Amino acid sequence: MKIIWLYFMLLSVIMLSGKEEAVEFRKLNAVEKQVIENKGTEAPFSGKYWEHFEEGSYKCKRCGVPLFRSNDKFKSGCGWPSFDDEIEGAILQISDSDGIRTEIVCAHCNAHLGHVFVGEGFTEKNTRHCVNSISLKFEPSTETSGWQKIIIRIIMNIKVEYLIATDQ
């Protein structure tokens, strides 16, 4: 009896080990669903990030996986955020049904992001990921710049000197 039980336990472990973990998706509103799930496009020059150049990373709105870095973003004048590179393994390219364009989707959750164009000459990398702002969520950089580090040191030194002077 123990052998049969052990066999079924081992079989269960083998069967379950091949299953992927459940992916938690962010709840989308109707407009987000139209673009992200139904492969729509937001109007040019209307998105939140087309002229956004803060330091940080751009993540998939649906699953939260990092897709692009801010240092790969550039001004293309097309009305959508443009990146000349992606985070390795984050994006899948799929030939569009029209046979002309190449769609880009999140490699983790298959959310529609936009299209990629090659050979336009905007940057040295010669690639433009044209992305719907509504498909992205920006996360500011938490890294401290050189000036910020200097200011923090000055403040800490002033605080230490104050504590010494007041015998605390």
pLDDT digits (tens, 9 = 90+) for 152-168: 667 666 755 666 666 66
Q: Does 1 have pLDDT greater than 60? A: no
Q: Does 9 have pLDDT greater than 50? A: no
Q: Is 60 a catalytic residue?
A: no
116 belongs to a structural domain: yes
CA distance linking residue 161 with residue 167, whole number of Å: 10
And the tokens for 79? 């009305």
Q: What is the DSSP letter of 60?
A: E
17 belongs to a structural domain: no
Range of the domain at 133: 25-140
Catalytic residue among 60, 63, 106, 130: 130
Kindly report, residue by residue over 113-149, the tens digit of the pLDDT. Answer: 999 999 999 999 999 999 999 999 999 998 666 666 6
CATH number at residue 111: 2.170.150.20
Number of domains in the chain: 1
- Which has more confidence, 15 or 38? 38
66 belongs to a structural domain: yes
Please give the helix or strand (H or E) that residue 112 lies within, else none. Answer: strand 112-118
pTM given for the model: 0.72
